[in-house]
Structure 1
Amino acid sequence: MKKVKSVMQWGKIILPLSSIRYYPPSFTLRNPLMEGVTNAFKAGHEVAVIVFKLSNLHNLIEPADSQQHSKLLKVIKKLFQTVVEQTVDPKVLIALHDYYGEGVTLLITVDHDRHSISDIDILLKNITDQVSQSYMKQYSSLYPTFEVGYMFVDKYDYSIQDSIFRAHRQAIGIAEKREKLEINEMLLAINKIITKKNITLFAQPIIDVATSEIRAWELLTRGPKGTALEAPLQLFSVARQTGRLYELEMIVMEKMLQQVKASRCHQDIFVNCTPLTLGNIRFTSDLKKLLQKYRGISPKQITFEVTEQDSIEGLKNFAFNINVLRLMGFRIAVDDTGAGYASLSTISELMPDIIKIDRSVIENIDKNSVKESMLKGLLLVAKEAGSLVVAEGIENQEEASVLTRNNVDLAQGNFYARPAMFFDEIAT
């Protein structure tokens, strides 16, 4: 492998003021970027490398004016620093640096159990919108626009330094839509997965709180074992950024029906589906074809989980498709309620059959009276909407006891059972 430059040669590293450390001249400054990535890995998190590329530079300055070019980029980078300090949780931020010709690079930690792809997309849109608006207010009426790409740092196959540079090149490739950069490798990987339908479905039981019986199973997708795309966050983020998300999610649908039929499972099945796929004009007709292929499975057995952080606004066919799915017999759940924005709005628009309460509300609820009040409020909302409630992320008996005393319908989490590797092991 070609030797890469030292990470300290990337350029000026910009951190929040509270994170800047000073050392006497006789001491060597520790590398905050390497340290931040290492600590994130030790804590069990992922690290996303995000590239923001100014895409309309030619509209903002005269092409031949090099001085104006340099000044503009300094202004843009300063605005990024200000916005990132105001927008990104310090616990998540690893570094923002200017090692990129017409943009900047941001490194953040990501908890794959708590965050979805849409969380990252929302954060990135927030940052770029605020930078563009600040620029217009302070400098010009022209609106700067940005291309954004991100990739996750590989934990296993390379040194941390090499992995950071590799993820950075891939993120640049996505931002610039280049064919010659290492994004080719990711394109080949996701194409191979889709061509060979090389995914695995895990399953985690959903428990009746009152009786402790298994009422349903949630299916969880994993990419090829031992690869950079094994974890779902990496798998779906690459598919989304390379235009293969719909195909990947339809493979998940087919695998689900295939394994339900093969295992003769008669319990309810929950499966995640992004609003982008649910709103695709082809979705309902493609789903009908799959049902014909795997005859004997009732749509009433299947619940589609809509991640509530994903905005459903502006999706032309989403509402129509939801109505068709309901007429076919499928049920709709709103996932991650309480974790992100617009959950109550999404519930009021969809009137879901099931509301899944995010683990951020449930975690340590036995020690936090405010969280229990939030739970009670969501239970009232569910009652008004005529929805069943599933509490997610239950880790211990104390949390489970709070659910019992509040008459929560269903629960899910490692306290009851971890996801099983093979679907036929858990089918009854």
Structure 2
Amino acid sequence: MTSLKGKGYILLGKWFKVFSSSAKLRFYPPQFALRKPVVRAVEAAISHDYEVAVIVFNVKELLELKEKGQHEELPQFITSLKQAFKKVVIDQVREENLLTIHDYYSDGITLLMNIKGSSKSLIYMDELIRSISREVKERLLSVNPEQAVTLNTGYMFVEHKHYSIEGALDKAHRQAVTMAEAESPMNEMRESINQIIENGNINLLAQPIFDVATNQIKAYEVLTRGPRGTELENPLALFAVARQTGRLYDLEKIVLEKSFRQISENESPQNVFINFTPVTLSDPRFVNEVKDMLKKYKGVHANQIVMEITERDPILNIEEFIESIRGLRELGFRLAVDDTGVGYSSLYAIIEIMPEIIKIDRSVIENIDHNAVKETMLKGLLLIAKETGSVVVAEGIESIGEAMVLSRNRVDLAQGYYYARPSTVDKISISS
């Protein structure tokens, strides 16, 4: 059995947290959204600024048994399925106790998971889902060689702004079931993302990046939101659906073009950070399409754009990725590596890419003014940046204490609510 710890995911605890103080993994009966322990757990997660993901594992064989009327075989099959899931989840997160598992009314198993509200964490969830699916299948086969299962998975985030917790859980579950049934021609979430991409219906925000020494704005980071008032307004939900439906490249291309259009309209000389996953950067179409956009938007200059590499997706075609990086640099774009300090993968990316900019993750910065070890880590990352000739940006600054630590360590740039919250993208102005 292969655990995520063996793949460099020992720091998953930075993304996933337990729901309750008891940290127990338990099964609940159907309609768990109406049970107080689950509701309280979700409310507690949300109150601590976590997003809650509902993950559905639909079991094809379970549905087939129901359709064939073989109800006498159902109890034993469901029992085996639950035991396999429970054992695998415990093995995956034995030390962290990161998941709570629930029985629900779909044709399979539903898990709940807390994650910090960032699109960077989607790759961790994807990897966990794949690992759980693989090991459940292996465990069932080890018990009964004839008990092969087909797991179709989907996930969605609980939208807690416009609904009661019970209603939000129910809605998120139904959407996750829809994603698990992605082959259905009536998949409403697939249709929603297709409409968004076809109409370019996304909204952009811009968060300023400040010079720590002078407290002057030096750049902006573009942030993406889905259509206002919809279930995909939340960027986690938007990118989760795009990822699960194979439309991630198309979505990120729209973000790029909208960003170029806004910069051109504003006649802005400001440096602008735009996020891209390795999925997009590895696509052989990307560099040529970027060239076409530069020709279309004459007011945009490649040297003012920083392409920020987010997430740690497996790079399926390393040759295409390296070629794309080379092509972007030849055009004049600069590259930033995100998440630095989270784990080995970000340091490896720095070695491979030699980025012009290194972004230090919020997990390093949070409460750094009260944690000498974190400040020592920051100093180490600054030394790495000096060796690579990289500018350093610290993310997620939320207090004057954190800002003071950056100042005394001579960090170059910083962003976060302490300096400024995101605003509409038209705030990327002509001021320097």
TM-score range, shorter chain: 0.7 to 0.9
The structure-2 alpha-carbon separation of the partners of 1:56 and 1:354, relative to structure 1 and needing over 3 Å to count, comes to: farther
Work out which of the residue numbers 205, 208, 211 in structure 2 matches 1:208. 211
Say if 1:395 and 1:154 are closer, same or farther in 2 by CA, change over 3 A: closer
Instruction: Give SS of 2:420's match.
Output: coil
Aligned CA distance change for structure 1 residues 220 and 163 (closer, same or farther; 3 Å)? same
Task: State the Cα deviation string for residues 265-320 of structure 1 (Å, max 9, x = none).
Answer: 11211010111111112111111111111013211111111114333354552111
Aligned equivalent of 2:286: 283
1:373 corresponds in structure 2 to: 376
Q: Which runs of 5+ in 1 are unaligned?
A: 1-13, 22-28
State the match for 2:116 in structure 1: 111
Distance 2:247 2:259 in 1: 19
Q: Share of identical aligned residues, percent? A: 48
Q: Is 1:169 the counterpart of 2:174 in the alignment?
A: yes
CA contact (8 A) 2:262 2:425 kept: no
Contact 2:53/2:156 (CA < 8 Å) preserved in 1? yes
Deviations 1:103-162 (A, max 9, x none): 311012232148532232122223234434545666559976532211122324544333
Which amino acid letter does the alignment assign opposite residue 311 of structure 1?
P
Task: Pick closer, same or farther for the CA change 1:334–1:142 going to 2, 3 Å.
Answer: farther
C-alpha offsets along residues 159-202 of structure 1, whole Å, 9 cap, x if unaligned? 43333223222212211224366x41x23322232222122211
1:319 pairs with 2:326 = no
Q: Does 1:238 align with 2:241?
A: yes
Aligned pairs (5 A) from 1:141-156: 146-156=151-161
Give the 3-state SS of the residue equivalent to 1:295 in structure 2: coil
Distance 1:403 1:17, change over 3 A: closer
- Compared with structure 1, are the counterparts of its residues 387 and 313 closer, same or farther at alpha carbon in structure 2 (3 Å cutoff)? farther
Tell whether the 8 Å contact from 2:270 to 2:428 is kept in structure 1 after alignment: no
Task: Give the RMSD, CA atoms, in angstroms.
Answer: 3.1
Stretch deviating more after TM superposition (146-155 or 246-255)? 146-155
Query: What's the offset of the Cα at 1:335?
Result: 0.7
Gaps of 5+ in 2: 1-18, 27-33
Q: CA deviation at 1:417?
A: 1.1
Q: TM-score, normalised by structure 2?
A: 0.83
Paired position in structure 1 for 2:390: 387
How far apart in 2 are the matches of 1:119 and 1:154? 20
Measured at CA, do residues 298 and 246 of structure 1 come closer, stay the same or move farther in structure 2, by a change above 3 Å?
A: same
Q: Residue 26 of structure 1 aligns with which residue?
A: none
Between the aligned partners of 2:215 and 2:342, the Cα distance in structure 1 is 26
What's 1:127 paired with?
132
8 Å CA contact 1:299–1:330 kept in 2: the answer is yes
Distance 1:20 1:351, change over 3 A: closer
Alignment partners' CA distance in 1, 2:215 and 2:168? 44
How many residues in Structure 1 have an aligned counterpart in Structure 2?
Answer: 402
Checking the alignment, whether the CA contact within 8 Å between 2:152 and 2:180 is kept in structure 1 is: yes
The CA deviation at 1:56 is 7.6
Cα distance, 1:90 vs structure 2: 6.3
TM-score (norm 1): 0.83
Counterpart AA for 1:45: Y
Residues 19-63 of structure 1 deviation map (CA, whole Å, 9 limit, x = unaligned): 379xxxxxxx953222222333344433211012345889xxxx9
AA paired with 2:405?
A: V
* Letter in structure 1 aligned against 2:412: D
Cα distance change of structure 1 residues 143 and 382 upon mapping to structure 2, 3 Å threshold: farther
AA in 1 matched with 2:230:
T
Please name the residue that 1:51 is paired with. Answer: 56
Provide, for residues 347-369 of structure 1, a one-character-per-residue CA deviation record: whole Å limited to 9, x for no partner. Answer: 11111111100000000011111
1:306 to 301, 306, 309: 309
Instruction: Tell me whether 1:34 sits opposite 2:34 in the alignment.
Output: no
Residue pair 1:92, 1:110 contacting (<8 A) in 2 also: no
Residues 64 and 281 of structure 1: is their aligned pair in 2 closer, same or farther, counting only changes over 3 Å? farther
Aligned-partner Cα distance in 2 for 1:44–1:132:
34
User: 2:15 aligns to what?
Assistant: none
Aligned to 1:356: 359
Greater relative contact order (Cα < 8 A, sep 6+):
2
Shift of residue 388, structure 1, vs aligned partner: 1.4
Q: Deviations over 1:368-393 (max 9, x none)?
A: 11111111221222222222111111
- Alpha-carbon distance in 2 for matches of 1:166, 1:45: 18
Where do 1:43-82 residues align within 5 Å? 43-54=48-59, 71-82=76-87
Residue 415 and residue 290 in structure 1: after superposition, are their counterparts in 2 closer, same or farther (change >3 A)? same
Residue type of the alignment partner of 1:409: D
The CA distance in 1 between the partners of 2:315 and 2:417, in whole Å, is 30
1:383 to 1:302, Cα distance in 2 relative to 1, 3 A: same
Conserved in 2, the CA contact under 8 Å of 1:49 and 1:168? yes
